[in-house]
Structure 1
């Protein structure tokens, strides 16, 4: 199925669900419980560079080797924290001889004051390889020949997003972190502002290259939470969003004598697309499920070159809720008195 067909299908599905939604949805909160969760996810990070004429474009696809991660998350009240890492014992994370060594680290926190969802994160990715080798070397054999590698290419991102849930009785938290559970089907429009600082560094021919990118964008998404079963314990939640943004890039080289070259500043208009699906099962103590998200942003560089960053993310999770230990509750209550927003 093409990307265009997928978007049309999701928009049609969401429109049908939105017409059938109930105006008196009820939400059960688990804010007074501590939730711990173990996740296994596949995160495919790709950068696609396309240049040349439209009838015969040439693509260069850069990808990371480590694609399967494990993460551990803890939720309590409006705070949600997740730590991720890439264990070597998982399948697909040890093909270093052919694809080189990659590393991926992601630290993400979410806060939920009323209808706002605030996310902040830090992400570091290092070690890429060219995925489409046969487009450049027809004699190249997959599984036998090594990929062309960029072991020193590193990307560090500091960023965040601010989302606002427009519908009164819709719980986006039930989809993001399962800190709530929606008992009746409902949907909502969710405007989002996102922003990040990304630093690209690489060593080419013994010379260090540094590219700093500042991005800000706005998008509008629609989320629907479809609740099923006699006891309302199963949910299916699709979402789709579109947006525009601006990116400001500053590039410079480190010369052989240690001095820095002059900056080259450029500005780009970016187009953003996101879609996803969450399926979950919930009880007051045990919960499990999975989700699949696709995000993509693209912009045009000089000439006929197009740059696209695609991220495909799939996750399976299992979690457990329990009353908070006394020391945790007391300390949180003390902090809440000083910071009422918590």
Structure 2
């Protein structure tokens, strides 16, 4: 029964309000500035910020290559050194960035899983910390061994049946008429922080989970152009597990903490779509904050832009046959 249901869904490429490209292969190339940055703010008793440090990686732009077919979207992201702003190694140290993401689209659900590996950070706002600091003369404080690995995912559900979130996320569909919908979603991840300071290794595990509600609106201004803003808010929990390595190589004491987190996100997507060619741009922001101590907060704030261009074409016979065989064994695909 489940296999039949998905076979019927695959065969159906149009509805009253949504045009589907489920039987087309789509490739996309993205350029965006969505890279790692952490802000640590020390606050005095009057709730005034007395010290703020921004940790960033030595990359300004990353490239993403995406491949979509049927109910799967796969994206590989990296930060090429030849792009401007990705190779200031003498001043900021060497950084590396890799990100792999999979999305699945069973009915009105969107399931995302991803892995991210980032290494090499520096303090970005040196001028705020050292009076008279000069970039060429003094350089930046660097953390070349600071590495962040994240295994994560999110589960979203579109409340309104005739609204296509897929048309905004991956452009795998096209919304024919203007619509909006609330979208509740859960996000969760395991992040591993590693560093070496003065020859001493440190490792921290962070488990994050959050419940969110967002509103997305897709304003179709003609047959091929749409504008889609969204805004989301949420709350969650952060659970940390820290342990360092002593000079003799033995494990140090373990420290565990729990925090309540608040988060917000939003953005704007403008896109052009035809049956073959698509392109557009996005502007997004993400913000997460929690109190580590009464006078110390940690924030991860991110504002980034993205441009993309894509092309759709009929799947090669080998691709179609291979997917059909896999779908017979895994009907949800």
Q: What do you get for the CA RMSD once the two structures are aligned? A: 1.2
The answer for the alignment partner of 2:28 in structure 1 is 37
Residue 194 (structure 1) aligned with residue 181 (structure 2): no
Unaligned runs of 5+ in 1: 1-23
Distance 1:147 1:73 in 2: 35
Superimposed CA distance per residue, residues 185-218 of structure 1 (whole angstroms, 9 cap, x where no aligned partner): 0000000101000000111111001110011110
Residue 323 (structure 1) aligned with residue 314 (structure 2): yes
The answer for the alignment partner of 2:255 in structure 1 is 264
Q: Contact 2:43–2:297 (CA<8 Å) still a contact in 1?
A: no
The answer for the alignment partner of 1:245 in structure 2 is 236
The answer for the alignment partner of 1:208 in structure 2 is 201
Find the residue that maps to 2:85 and give its secondary structure.
coil
Find the residue that maps to 1:327 and give its secondary structure.
helix
TM superposition score normalised by structure 1? 0.90
Q: Contact 1:25–1:170 (CA<8 Å) still a contact in 2?
A: no
Question: What does 1:151-166 align with in structure 2 at a 5 Å threshold?
Answer: 151-166=144-159
The answer for the alignment partner of 2:5 in structure 1 is none
Distance 2:133 2:72 in 1: 49
Tell me by how many angstroms 1:132 deviates.
Answer: 1.2
TM superposition score normalised by structure 2? 0.93
Residue 340 (structure 1) aligned with residue 331 (structure 2): yes
Match of 2:296 among 288, 305, 308: 305
Tell me by how many angstroms 1:143 deviates.
Answer: 4.3
Distance 1:55 1:71 in 2: 40
Q: Contact 2:41–2:49 (CA<8 Å) still a contact in 1?
A: no
Distance 1:309 1:56 in 2: 16
Distance 1:56 1:329 in 2: 57
Distance 1:235 1:143 in 2: 45
Superimposed CA distance per residue, residues 67-118 of structure 1 (whole angstroms, 9 cap, x where no aligned partner): 2111111000000001111111111111111111111111001000000000
Tell me by how many angstroms 1:144 deviates.
Answer: 4.1
Find the residue that maps to 1:157 and give its secondary structure.
strand
Match of 2:98 among 96, 105, 111: 105
Question: What does 1:1-342 align with in structure 2 at a 5 Å threshold?
Answer: 26-53=17-44, 54-229=47-222, 232-342=223-333
Distance 1:51 1:28 in 2: 51
Q: Contact 1:45–1:312 (CA<8 Å) still a contact in 2?
A: no
Unaligned runs of 5+ in 2: 1-14
Distance 2:48 2:269 in 1: 38
